[in-house]
Amino acid sequence: MKQRFVFIDLLRGWATIVMIEVHVFNAFLTPSFKETPWFGILTYFNGLVAPSFIFVSGFVFLAASQRKLEEFRKYGSVFWKQVQRIGLIWLIGYLLHLPHFSLNKTLHETTEADWLRFFQADVLHCIALGLLILFVFRLFIRSDVAYKNFLLGTGIALIAFAPFVWDIDFYRMLPSPIAAYLSGERYSQFPVFPWLGFMMFGGFCAVQYMSARELGREKNFVMRLAIGGFACLVGGRFFSGVLGDIPFASLDIRANTFFFLERFGIVLLLLVGCWMFAEWRKTPARPPSGGERSFVLDVSRESLFVYAAHLMTIYGLFLSGKSFSGIYGGTFGIVACSAATLVLTGSMILAAKTWGWLKHRHVPLARGFSFATAFVFLYLFVTQ
């Protein structure tokens, strides 16, 4: 039976749910509202979604892969299943950025800007690359201590060098598909510097947490996480202006090492909050037979499905070659955006519950539905 840590599932679930609000407000809110102070505050808190999502991805991978290490190193079915999972995340990331839902138009009508948008590094691309790095190095670094040091050292390097790498125009030196992972310009929102730092630290925290749990020191470890999170939050906020006085350091806040630490500190505090909530409610990883499971956990376990489905709902070109965002983008007020968020969130929760139930109770049917859906999309893409 799989070992699950409810608190990390709760953090991922809430991050996925808030992500829906982020995309709805960004796509549909009237531009004039985006100039108001309250939207700046909302944007700050919405900016915690991606760090949480990437951090959790690293934590979950290390927690789940620990017991599979020997199977991975035999390069058998377990190894290839993991490769397929990483490949699926990467594939969905690129499919969501297709310039046209038509092979003919993609090949003949795609502009240079369209191709740059297609190759951009988004959250899923960042996660897929990070998981591949974690996976490959876990295969070859057999020492747990050495691997833990690798995670910590790589995470520190990614955030320390980010201000000095951010302004480099890698598109002049490397092919666009590769440059997109290194540069924060030309549509890429999640380059490896510094975003993969969240994943490396997520993996490091997972290793430390599992070690503390085995020694019966889980509560002490969580307390240290809380202290560390608060220290990162306060220190990151206090020193965020320091880099402005350092030569060659980018002034872009997204590359700021201390802004990273500020957000990382909040992520740790959110993680501690989820742990405390799970302990208080005694939330089971799976409900008793016939019991209702938390909708947050349903969304968490189908987070990739919900991520892709809600983006396709907002940006998919299904309305005579247009999307909802293309038709209604920038026209909603606060009330309309809030209502749209509630409707889309409710739909995604229902879809996650249904899909999770189908995969658990009717595996052949779920597999058949997946293949049928993929075939229909491929057929339409090729023939249109």
Q: How far apart are CA 275 and CA 283, in angstroms?
A: 10
Cβ(8)–Cβ(60) below 8 Å: yes
Record the pTM: 0.92
The tokens for 367 are 């597999």
Summarize the confidence of residues 27-56 as an average pLDDT. 93
Mean pLDDT of the chain: 90
Cβ(315)–Cβ(24) below 8 Å: no
CA angle, 79 then 62 then 295, to 5°: 100
Please list, in sequence order, all residues whose beta carbon lies within 8 angstroms of the beta carbon of residue 326, skipping any fewer than 6 positions away. Answer: 317
Task: Provide the pLDDT confidence category of residue 149 given band limits of 50, 70 and 90.
Answer: very high
pLDDT at residue 1 above 60? no
Residue 24 is predicted with a pLDDT of: 95
pLDDT at residue 3 above 60? no
Q: How far apart are CA 9 and CA 85, in angstroms?
A: 18
- Element at 32 (helix H, strand E): none
The tokens for 271 are 């993680």
Residue 283 is predicted with a pLDDT of: 65
Q: Which DSSP string corresponds to 131-184?
A: HHHHHHHHHH---HHHHHHHHHHHHHHHHHHHHHHTT--GGGTS-HHHHTTT-S
Please list, in sequence order, all residues whose beta carbon lies within 8 angstroms of the beta carbon of residue 75, skipping any fewer than 6 positions away. Answer: none
Task: Provide the pLDDT confidence category of residue 4 given band limits of 50, 70 and 90.
Answer: low
Poorest-confidence range of 33-42, 215-224, 235-244, 294-303?
235-244
CA distances for 34 relative to 167, 253, 328, 333, 344, angstroms? 26, 19, 16, 11, 21
Which residues does residue 322 pair with via DSSP β-bridges, in sequence order?
319
128-143 pLDDT per residue, tens: 999 999 999 999 998 9
Cβ(268)–Cβ(234) below 8 Å: no
Q: How far apart are CA 264 and CA 72, in angstroms?
A: 30
Q: How far apart are CA 97 and CA 93, in angstroms?
A: 7
Q: Nearest CA to 382 among 177, 107, 89, 114? A: 107
CA dihedral 309, 313, 317, 323 (to 10 degrees): -160
pLDDT at residue 43 above 80? yes
Cβ-based burial of 15 (10 A; exposed 0-12, middle 13-18, buried ≥19): buried
The tokens for 20 are 């829906």
Which residue type sits at 172? Answer: R
Please list, in sequence order, all residues whose beta carbon lies within 8 angstroms of the beta carbon of residue 351, skipping any fewer than 6 positions away. Answer: 302, 305, 306, 309
Cβ-based burial of 60 (10 A; exposed 0-12, middle 13-18, buried ≥19): buried
Provide the residue ranges of all domains of the chain, joining segments of one domain with +.
6-280+294-383
CA distances for 103 relative to 35, 98, 187, 215, angstroms? 39, 10, 22, 56
Q: How far apart are CA 303 and CA 297, in angstroms?
A: 9
58-82 pLDDT per residue, tens: 999 999 888 888 888 888 899 999 9
